Amino acid sequence: MNKIPFLFIFTFLSVVIFSKTNASQFNPDTTILNLGPDFNLCVGYIHLLDAGSGFDSYLWQDGSTSQTFMVTEAGVYWVHAYIGSTMYADTIAINYWPYPDPNLGNDTTICYGNSIMLEPTQGYFSYLWMDGSTLPYFNVTGPGLYYVSVMDVHGCAGSDSIVIDFTTPFNLGNDTIICDCDSVLLDAGEGYLSYVWQDGSTSQYFLVVGSAYSIGLHTFSVTVIDTNNCENTDEIDIYIEEEYQNLTQNRITPFQIHPNPANSTIKINFRYYTEAKLAVELMDSFGRLVMKEDMVVVSSNPYAEIDISNLCNGIYYLRIIDNRNQYLQKILIHH
């Protein structure tokens, strides 16, 4: 049997192919059909390929026949365009740049009083934080939602956000006064992993018995560790006093003091005086006189105001002396 030459087989197949395409002739002229050079897109972008007008028909790699083709993912795209029996063709490769991912990390909780520096992935062209700042880092000092948008050298944008919470500080309460015959139970709150008071005891509670301490100001403190392994400390000042004799104190006083505790001024309302000459004295916790003023009170204007802004924090005693009695009232000054 005679063998058919290979060249004849190729020529025969080419004739068959051309017959299926209406015997179109390929024209390699790129000035007539040109999809442009290969390029990259930013993730999420789309691009419209346009084979140009003036052709009789079009055939894209997916079988579509429009003049244009919408690119939504990376790949190699080609088009055949026909004018009569002449075919023009071009191919283009489109890829995507890596997505900019600043990555602020997972939502987190940090200890009260601390701070955390957010440092997204470095090397981006620009940074924009939620407050408008543009540094490549952000110092967090309070709870909230934090986010950053970045742009790389290709003009591609990315973003990330993080929720940061802070542990809640505990509070032993306001500074207070007790007499040497009284007591007060301090409670650091439940749910902590450990407690350490100023004397080394480790209970949730600490009982302050007035008779166990000398007259004067005492500071009590506790350090706790919570379930986030955060350490927190608070303290309270307790003034222990002895009862005064020959003085009316905090009971049936013919005046009112507001506010108490005070921070800048004390307002006195001499509510039960119709008209009287009074001596007003202010003493510190050691009995030292820090202010004295004589005044005349009338029912039409029973108010007086004392400036205490220059006094140190602590326990003070306000003494009012009229022509028959003297009255004493405790005041806590805390700026």
Q: Is pLDDT above 50 for 260?
A: yes
- How sure is the predictor about 252, in pLDDT bands with cuts at 50, 70 and 90? low
Residues 266-271, mean pLDDT to the nearest whole number: 86
Common-topology check for domains 176-241 and 248-333: yes
The more confident residue out of 3 and 59 is 59
**Percent of the chain residues past pLDDT 90, beyond the cut:** 47
Residue-wise pLDDT tens digits, 213-225: 988 889 999 999 9
Q: Which CATH architecture has domain 248-333?
A: Sandwich (2.60)
- How sure is the predictor about 6, in pLDDT bands with cuts at 50, 70 and 90? very low
The more confident residue out of 235 and 285 is 235
Residue-wise pLDDT tens digits, 64-81: 999 999 999 999 999 999
Q: Which CATH architecture has domain 6-96?
A: Sandwich (2.60)
Residue 154 · residue 126 · CB < 8 Å:
no
Question: Which residues, in sequence order, are CB contacts of 67 under 8 Å at separation 6+?
Answer: 50, 51, 52, 53, 55, 58
Buried b / exposed e over 4-26, threshold 16 CB at 10 Å, is: eeeeeeeeeeeeeeeeeeeebee
Residue-wise pLDDT tens digits, 115-162: 999 999 888 999 999 999 999 999 999 999 999 999 999 999 999 999
Structure tokens at 66: 């429009």
Q: Is pLDDT above 50 for 28?
A: yes
Backbone phi, then psi, for 98, in 5-degree steps?
-60, 145
| pLDDT for the residue numbered 118 | 96
Residues 227-235, mean pLDDT to the nearest whole number: 90
For the chain, give percent helix, strand, coil, nearest 5. 5, 50, 45
Query: pTM of the prediction?
Result: 0.53
Domain boundaries, the chain: 6-96, 108-166, 176-241, 248-333
Strand partners, 208: 184
Superfamily of domain 176-241: Immunoglobulins (2.60.40.10)
Query: Can the peptide bond before residue 120 be classed as cis, meaning omega within 30 degrees of 0?
Result: no
3-state class (DSSP) for residue 19: helix
Question: Which residues, in sequence order, are CB contacts of 296 under 8 Å at separation 6+?
Answer: 275, 276, 277, 278
Place of tokens 């050691």: 286
Structure tokens at 9: 């087989």
3-state class (DSSP) for residue 43: coil
Place of tokens 């306000």: 318
Q: Is pLDDT above 90 for 239?
A: no
